[in-house]
Every structure is written in structure tokens, then in C-alpha cells.
Amino acid sequence: MSAEYEVHGDVAVITMNNPPVNGLGYATRAAITRGLDQASADASVKAIVVTGAGKAFSGGADITEFGTPKATAEPNLHSVIRAVENCDKPVVAAIHSVAMGGGLELALGCHYRIAAPGAKIALPEVKLGILPGAGGTQRLPRVLGVETALNMIVSGEAVNSELLAQQPGQKLFDRMAGSAESLLEDAIAFARSVAAARPLPLVRNLPCKHPLGDAYFQFARNMVKGMAKNLPAPAKCVDAVQAATQGRFEEGLAKERELFVQLMLSPESRALRHIFFAERATSKIPDVPPDTPQRDIRSVAVIGAGTMGGGIAMNFLNAGIPVTILEMKQEALDRGVATIRKNYEGQVKKGKLKSDKYEQRMGLLKTTLDYQDLKDADLVIEAVFEEMGVKRQVFEKLDQVMKPGAILASNTSTLDVNEIAGFTRRAQDVVGLHFFSPANVMKLLEVVRGAKTGKDVMATVMSMAKKIKKTAVVSGVCDGFIGNRMVEQYGRQAGFLLDEGATPQQVDKAIERFGFAMGPFRMGDLAGNDIGWAIRKRRALERPGMLYSRTADKLCEMGRFGQKTGAGWYDYQAGKRDAIPSAQVEKMIEDHRKELGITPRKISDEEIVQRLVFALVNEGAHILEDGIAARAGDIDMVYLTGYGFPLHRGGPMLYADEVGLFNVVQAMKRFQRNPRDDAKFWEPAPLLARLAAEGKTFN
Ligand code: 3HC
Ligand code: NAI
């Protein structure tokens, strides 16, 4: 039973009950129609209320059923809505908390709607790469007007019920309930008051026009084109709403259905649906159950006020959590605080932050040169120089001063978190919190779980990540963790491509056409090529004989560190960021090829994309097999939120699934034959080889 049926005097109440959000899965749909039949057959029932149990009216179609026979099994959502419309007794939707997607579409099929204040109303299907497929594109414009409805459908954003109720001429809500608590009582009273009304009003009978007609839709289409380059759904939302203004209601519905089916089958929608679930799965750690006790995080300390320390501190200030930053010298503190101020002032200037909020946030920030001032912090995050000796000093000191139970975190990007934990007598309290630069902007947070990190520490930092609005992904301890370990292979391939005959601009353009915002060489110029140079020098000591292209080192030897030195892989004009192909770099690459005795060959864009992306995939497969990441979806989330992997591809691992793992392996075998490349690396990871042989996928 996924909906309950109760009779209150002469009003029947059907309560959807399918936790967590009353998704309209098969069982719920069937239970609603049974409730309608029962109410129709009962002469003592004069009106019907439909509502939802728990924390939602309904979150919409059950996304877990997509692609399964249950999704379309009768009664499908269309049939349920039709049954509501055709019911001979008035049906009132009593909306609270969340009415989204199919949930809102069901409410729009009801004869009347009453809403509690504070309910989130949305047609968010576009975020899943589809459009509302149960009449939402046809009915919402009829009750809210074309423009408001189209904005909601194209953006997928939720709007507060009170705000919608205040809109002049709106026909979405017939009544507002006094409060969420009184909703059911108010709905029953309202249902009683309309029990005798005939004919019963139907949204489908309302007119739907825009004063500018098709010209408005042309304008809307141009707008969404700019917004969603690689995603087909927003433009199709415009087509569907336009259809609502053109023909009969049933024709519009048929058009909506046609577009819905097209989008549902698109790779972009598969990618976005994968992201929906992957994003939610990252917070679940297999051996850390949801009821694991958590520690309180009421105050935070940050060690180091450099590039990362300042950004990390801002995350907590934004969430209303007091932060104390410690540095070695007052000048460093002053510089760090000035940078934080500058960032906030930028936001105030752009109108993104109110000045009183800015002052409030700065009021939560303290600075110190003395460890004693940190001792009561619940969480301390170290962001000092990337040297084990310095980390050792800091953690030994923290071990002495911090109160028992404080969580000690390191923002290290390459060092061994277990070794760092070993500098303390409380390894269970030590964890890696690897933020990405700029730390106040980037969504990704790799949570590095040490061998001895306590489960309660893991549970605590995962929920803390939610509070500071990060996508937290758990990584085991290894060089580079998930993201940087994979990007090293991507970078190596980019280098080999240059040696073999490609130019930086060709490589960048090819991968940018694939959907990355920036190719590896433009990215290197932005981040500073010297950073990778330093890492390569360290790795060369640790892994002698490692095969990689020397072009990036030669570039750095020329002093071309990137935008900050006015020259990198590209030339830059003073004050501008446009990447101009460089004759000097081209010559360096050619000379290097000659030194190596390589005759350059023409490399296709397809090969460039495959070598860059499959390098990520193969390393990702090793990472999964080594247990560094728990799921392929976690790896995808790392790449989507930390490395600019194109959203519409769903992440490297999903992309590999889409291409087909057999095809990925075949391509890798071809790359093994490239004389300049690393044949050993292209040996498919055992997990990849196994899945490919069995015709399976990562996800
Ligand atoms: N179907 C199935 N499961 C759903 C769901 C849905 N429509 N919406 C949410 N869930 C699940 C989540 O996967 C999650 O499961 P988990 O606990 O196992 O990870 C759980 O509900 C809670 O979700 P959140 O963590 O997101 O909880 P919040 O309280 O933060 O948010 C929400 C609740 C606002 C409903 C948010 O989950 C949301 O935006 N959901 C998506 C709603 C959506 O896209 N609806 C449209 C569906 S498509 C449709 O209706 C097609 C129709 O037009 C034909
Ligand atoms: P940074 O050089 O900008 O800042 C380091 C700060 O730490 C300096 O202000 C320095 O004065 C201070 N410091 C050094 N030793 C200290 C000590 N013993 N006590 C107190 N303060 C001390 O460095 P950045 O870039 O902020 O990096 C910090 C850490 O974050 C490193 O471990 C780095 O690997 C990591 N990281 C850096 C990223 C980046 O993009 N810059 C990204 C992710 C992690």
C-alpha cells in the first residue's frame, strides 16, 4: 500500500505514502486510483482530498523506476491524472513541503488546489534532462501565465507557494492554508465547501496565450540556447509550452509526450539522471551507517592563511560557523584577512551579498599567532606549506594543545595522510579534507579516510560538508587521491600528443568541443605550469624511469609559467586572457620531436579526446579496484565538480559506459601500439578488462 484511504465525515482523504518523498511509483499510482474508485463508489463521500504523508506532497515520478517496465505500467501517471479529472466528485490537492514534477502535475489535474505556506513548487524535470511529461508544460502556463510557467520549466527552480499565491491572476492555488499544521483540516473544510459545485473546473479548459504569440517563443528559444549549450532539454521545454498556446489541449499533450520520449532516450538525460543519484550516493559510506554518532562542529580553526586557508575559512563563515585562523607572522595574517575581505567586497559589489551579511561573516572571523587560542575548536584544518616536515611540526603541536575529541584535518594534496596521523597520538581523529582552489567556490571536497580515521569522524565531516554546500567524496589514501591521481594520466597523454604531432591549440580545441570548459594547456597556463613542474620533479625522484613527455619541463625552463608570466603554452597580451598560439612554443615542440627522432603525424580530434578521456577511465578503474573510491559514480562526481568534466557526459566512468567498455578496451589496445606512448599504462586495468569481457558497465 503506497497510499492510505480514510474518510473524514463526508470527505475521503487519499494520502500518498511512499517515503522518502512520495515518488509516484507504480504502487502509489495504483493506490491513488483505488482510492478514487472507492470514494466514487461511496455515496456518503461528497468530496476527495489528495495529499502526501511525511516530508512531501510528492517529489514527482519515481526516478528509480525510469527505464523499467514499472515506469509505464498502467495506471501510468497520465491515466491517474485522467482519473482525477474525470472523477464525478470534486478532488482537492492539499499541497505541503514539496510538490515537484509529476507531483505538481497530479495537483494540476485536480479540480482544486490548496497549499500550505512554505511549500516548494517546481517542475524540475529539466535538471534530469527531460521535460514535464504528464501535462505540466500544458497546464502550468494555463494557471500561471506563459512567462512565469516557462521560466519555472526551463530553470527547474522551485518557487515558494506564498510567492506564487501572490501573483496577480494566478489560478494555481484556490486557497492558502493557515499553516502546514492546519493544511489537512483546511483542505477538508474547503472540499466540503465545493462539494456541490458543478461543473467541476479543469485546468485543461483554461485559455493559454502569450500576447506576442510566436515572437515571444523565438525570443525564449534564443535565450535558452545561450544558457544550455550541450543540453537539448531547455529548448524542447520551449517547444512544448509553445504547443500549449497553439492547438487543442490534447494536441499539446501529444507534442509534450513526443518530446518527453525523445529526451528520455537521450544520452544527456542518462547523464543527468546518473548525476542525480551519484550526487546523493557519495554521502553514503558503506561501513558507516546513517545512525553513526556525530561530533558537534560549532567552531573551526584554520592553520595557514594562504591561498587555501583563506578560502577554506570563508566556507565556514558563510555557514555561520566561527573561524580562528593561525599564522606564523602577523603580516601573513593581515594579508590573508585582506584577501577574504576583498572576496566578500567583490560579492557585495556584484549584489550577491548584502553588506550587513558581509559584516556578520567578518564578525565571526578571529586571527591569532598562538596555538592556545585554538585549543577549544571542534575542527582544525591545516593548510600550510606542502612539506612533510612542516606538517609534522603543526600536527605535533595540535596534538599537544587541542581538546580531546577535536577533529584534526589536513588539506594536503599529495602527502600521506596516515603518516600525518602518525605525528599525533590520536590517529582516529585525523582525516584529510582536500579542498579545491578557489576553496570558497569549488564544490568538490575529497574526504581522505586514513587507515585509522574514526567512523564518527567520517560521519561528522560528511554532514559538515553538506552544511558548507560541498560535494564530499570519500577517497582512500594514495598519491593524488582520486582526482589528481587521474589527472596525472590525462596530463601525460596531453604531453605525448604534442610529441607525436599535435599542437597545444589542437588538443585544447578538441577536448573543449567535447565539452570541457578549458583544455589541458589553457588550464596549465591559468593554474601555473610551474606547479606541475614541481610535482614532476618530486615524482621523478620517487618513481625513476617514469615515462612522460619532456615538453612541459622545457616550457618551464623557458620561464613560460603561464598567464602570470605573460607566456605559457600560449602568448598573452598584457591585461588580457586570450590564448594566442605561440611560434616559440611550436618551435620548441618541433625541436624536441627532432631530438627524439619523431616524424610528426596527423592526429585526429577523435584520437585526442579518446586518449585524454580513456586515460582518466583506466586510472579510474585502478582506483576502484584498489578500493580508493567506493563507486564509479564517486569518481564521476569528483570529475564533474572538481575538474570541469562536461555535465552532459555524466563523468568519465559513465562516458566509458556509454561508449561501451568493449570499445574502450579496443581503443586502448590501439594506443598501446603508439611508439611514443606508455604501452604499460594502456594495459586495461583488470576491472575494466573483466567488465568489458562480461559485457558489463562501471555503473
Ligand atoms: N523519485 C525517487 N526518489 C527520489 C525522488 C524521486 N522523484 N526525489 C528524491 N528522491 C530520493 C533521493 O534519491 C534520496 O534518496 P536516498 O535517501 O536514498 O539518497 C531521497 O529521496 C531524499 O532526497 P534528497 O537527499 O534530495 O532530499 P532533500 O530533502 O534534500 O530534497 C527533494 C527533496 C526536493 C524532493 C529533492 O530530492 C529533489 O529535488 N528531487 C527531485 C525531484 C524531481 O526531479 N522530480 C521530477 C521527477 S521526473 C517527473 O516527475 C517526470 C514527470 O514529469 C512525468
Ligand atoms: P600558500 O603558500 O598559499 O599558503 C600556506 C600558508 O601557510 C602561508 O601563508 C604560510 O605563511 C603558512 N604557513 C606555513 N607554515 C606554517 C606554520 N608552521 N604555521 C602556520 N602557518 C604556516 O599554500 P596553499 O596553496 O594555500 O597550500 C596550502 C596547502 O593546501 C598545501 O598542503 C597544498 O598542497 C594544499 N592545496 C593547495 C591547493 C592549491 O591549489 N593551491 C589545492 C588543494 C590543496
Q: What is the mean pLDDT of the chain?
A: 96
Determine whether 125 is an active site residue: yes
Ligand closest in space to the Cα of 273? 1
User: pTM of the entire structure?
Assistant: 0.95
pLDDT tens for each residue of 458-495: 999 999 999 999 999 999 999 999 999 999 999 999 99
Task: Give the Å distances, CA to CA, from 427 to 399, 437, 450, 452.
Answer: 10, 27, 8, 6
Regarding the domain with residue range 3-264, which homologous superfamily does it belong to in the CATH classification? 2-enoyl-CoA Hydratase; Chain A, domain 1 (3.90.226.10)
- Report residues whose beta carbon is within 6 angstroms of any ligand 1 atom: 20-21, 23, 56, 59-64, 77, 98, 100-102, 105, 124-125, 128, 132-134, 136, 280
pLDDT score of 538: 82
Q: 1 by DSSP, 3-state: which? A: coil
What's the CATH number of domain 483-693, 1.10.1040.50, 3.30.300.30, 3.40.605.10, 1.20.58.220? Answer: 1.10.1040.50
Nearest CA residue ID for atom 44, ligand 2? 413
* pLDDT at residue 38 greater than cutoff 90: yes
Instruction: Give the residues across from 199 on adjacent strands.
Output: none
Separation CA 493–CA 608 (nearest Å): 9
Separation CA 52–CA 4 (nearest Å): 9
Reported confidence tier of residue 384, pLDDT bands at 50, 70, 90: very high
Q: Is the CB of 393 under 6 A from ligand 2?
A: yes
CATH code: domain 300-475 is: 3.40.50.720
Q: Which atom of ligand 2 is nearest to the CA of 437?
A: 40
Reported confidence tier of residue 678, pLDDT bands at 50, 70, 90: confident
Residue 465 Cα to ligand 1 midpoint, Å, equals 20
Nearest CA residue ID for atom 28, ligand 1? 21
Asked if 381 contacts 303 with a C-beta cutoff of 8 angstroms, the reply is: yes
Burial class (CB in 10 A: 0-12, 13-18, 19+), 196: exposed
Pocket of ligand 2, candidates 413, 485, 535: which has the most ligand atoms within 8 Å of its Cβ, to mutate? 413
Reported confidence tier of residue 49, pLDDT bands at 50, 70, 90: very high
Ligand closest in space to the Cα of 272? 1
* pLDDT at residue 676 greater than cutoff 90: no
The domain segmentation of the chain, as residue ranges, is 3-264, 300-475, 483-693
Q: Which of 279, 639, 309, 648 is nearest to 465 (CA)?
A: 279
Per DSSP, the residues of 152-200 read: HHHH---EEHHHHHTSTT--S-SEE-S-TTTHHHHHHHHHHHTTT-SSP
Burial class (CB in 10 A: 0-12, 13-18, 19+), 291: exposed
Residue 641 Cα to ligand 2 midpoint, Å, equals 22
* pLDDT at residue 674 greater than cutoff 90: no
Provide the residue count of the chain: 699
Domains 3-264 and 483-693 share a fold: no
